[in-house]
Structure 1
Amino acid sequence: MDWRLKSSHERWLEGNLSPAVRLARQAASHDRDGTSEAGVEAELWLALMLIRLRHHDEFDRTMAGVEPAVARIGKPDQEIKLKLVQALSQGIRGGFSNVTEQARYIVDAPGEAVEGCRSFAWVILALEALRRGDLRTAGDYARRMSAESVLGNSRFPRGLTAWTLVQIEEATHGPEAVAYMVERLISTGGWIYQDLLSTEPGSAAWLVRFMMPRDDTTAQAIATAARGVCERGGDPPVLDAAACHAEGLVRHSAADLLFAATHYGDPWAAASAREDLGVMLAGHGAPAQAIAALEHALTGYLAVQSSRDAARLKRRLHRLGRTYHHARWSEESDVGIRDLTKTEIAVAELVAQGLSNTQAAGQLFISRHTVAYHLRSIFRKLQLTSRVELARTWTELHREAKQQSV
């Protein structure tokens, strides 16, 4: 391995992100025509760092050279790594539901050389399911994640994996169920925690938001750690935005939150900052400004196909007196309805017609308890909260799903 590439890996692990990128650029520059495997390996590593730091323009330029080089060399492990980088980029920019096919291809690929990529692919699949609110599938993928990706020697996403597991557990079982996991992640202050703050821009704010009702001192320490990671990493813009996001929550500063929302290179994290800004403005008695911020956040979540977050934003806006015709905001439900089983569709149709659980059970020849079970699953998948909401939206949901299948 080129000494520059080796040093780049070491700097990345130390949290010296800008030097790591600079060394990878130097290693890649020795083989710009893509004639050697070592040069392509350096460019793949550079591309992975660039997308994790949300340097989109340089990432696109790097990929324009590395994609034909990988095809020319035809080495399977490099092809897998290329698919990983492509999947991660598409997920960050346009939503993880765009990349499931690529991620599953990586998961099924043979060979020990791609174990780190395989662990990363499991994370992508778990995040995709979490974003669209399919917690059962997210949990299934989470259980398949290799323990090596969290505790082993892989350079791949131990921090991101730990955070994904925590988010899935919190969404499934509630905040108190994961409090000890979050506290342990933070209190160790180890490499996993530092890696998470370095490469997942929304994580610091998420952790601050989680800890604020429990321990203000720890919440402040997370914001301080995020700022330290930014400075040690060479002040990448995305990490500056992440630090401002965390600091804005701790300081109750709308200016910091607005700065984060407008300087993130990550659309999901930007939407998260605007949501926090809207919640803060609502708490300060500025409903018009709060609605504007939350609507902007809703648009951002829909753009990356995060239906679970979009549904939460609709509920927040509803409490502020804003409601929307379903056709305008149909993106967050279209994914969920395609995931309903045949029995769930039958239950949904009967309940939407006004039948009780007992009446629906009689028509389907199942117990009312089974109907209740399926109804809970339907509410979760479609991000609904009541039978009334199901009845109001089901006809249009069903019609739109049929139109998409034509």
Structure 2
Amino acid sequence: MQKQSWSQRTNVAQALGKIDGETRAVVPPIHLATTFIRDDDNQYRSGFVYGRPDNQTVREAEAVIAMLEGAAASMVLSSGMSAAAAVFMSLAPGDHVVVSKVMYWAQRNWLLTDAKSWGIEATFVDSDNLDAVRAALIPGRTKLVWIETPANPLWTVTDIAAVAALAHGVGARLAVDSTAATPVLTRPLELGADIVMHSATKYLNGHSDVVAGALATNKQDEFWERIARFRRSVGTILGPFEAFLLIRGMRTLDLRVRAACASALDLAARFDGHGCVSTVLYPGLSTHPGHAIAAKQMSGGFGGMLSIRVKGGEAAAIKTAARVALWKRATSLGGVESLIEHRASVEGAGSPCPTDLLRLSVGAEDPADLFADLDSALRDAHRN
């Protein structure tokens, strides 16, 4: 059987079948060297000069991500924020961007503050509203549309193909933060996106022990080269040990994501109509406003993330989070352990996140245990 005919799940499980040429190890070695020997004639025919712009272990992680996304190329960076910032900082001063209102809070805050000193003018829109996206575009000035779908922490769903058509219609690129969907469920490049971003800290790694970011592109054009130059110049390449761990994490990506999707759907259904919960936000529920679009562009599940809005408001939500035993009260998402977080406390003033909302990242535990623990915490919070 030819390797090209293997499924995405098989290829990622085997890390593209990489075998160490010297030892025949089935796990790729970590290349830690920061500098490399020149040839006798002063050339670098190995292709490696110095560790800041390039590394073999990093290349291997990038090859897996490119395969997962069906991309022409990918790059890994030191964090999800560094990956996102690299895209925006590769624009020209004065360029206009259209951005989802609901998105990762640290990136949103950066765009509202420090990014302005780079001359980036951002318009925030409800990206699930195509009329709002269309109205925000400025022909000749809008150079980038950035959407996150499903969007953290409300899990708003944006039609990638429709927004891609709108962006391309005014000469802009579309970048998609697909952290929550992962390439297991959605491949944005196939839907018309130009660039995909992942906080690889989350599902791609999946074990809460690596901070990393990833970008993938549909073509290696001049803009992609600008992003690569930015990473090289600023030095935001991922470290080789982190790249090694990222490869390790991605080998179980398909299994972890599908298990998390099944458990998240189970929990969403159980909490839908729960006496202590006013609303469940999960694209897999037919009552979710983005369910039809999610069903169209997500294959195999609706993600491992959901949020619940707790009756009794902010106080009841915080009490609930304080009373869990199995769920871990911690930030981040996409790991094998299930996490619960009161997002409004983290995001602060100006956040679009309701104060009664608890964000849930569903891990690998038995969903019946997860339900029992949170159900008990909800009921206890409402009794006291």
Give the alignment's TM-score, normalised by structure 1.
0.28
More helix by proportion, 1 or 2? 1
User: Which of these two proteins has the greater Rg computed from alpha carbons?
Assistant: 1
Higher relative contact order (CA 8 A, sep 6+): 2
Give the alignment's TM-score, normalised by structure 2.
0.29
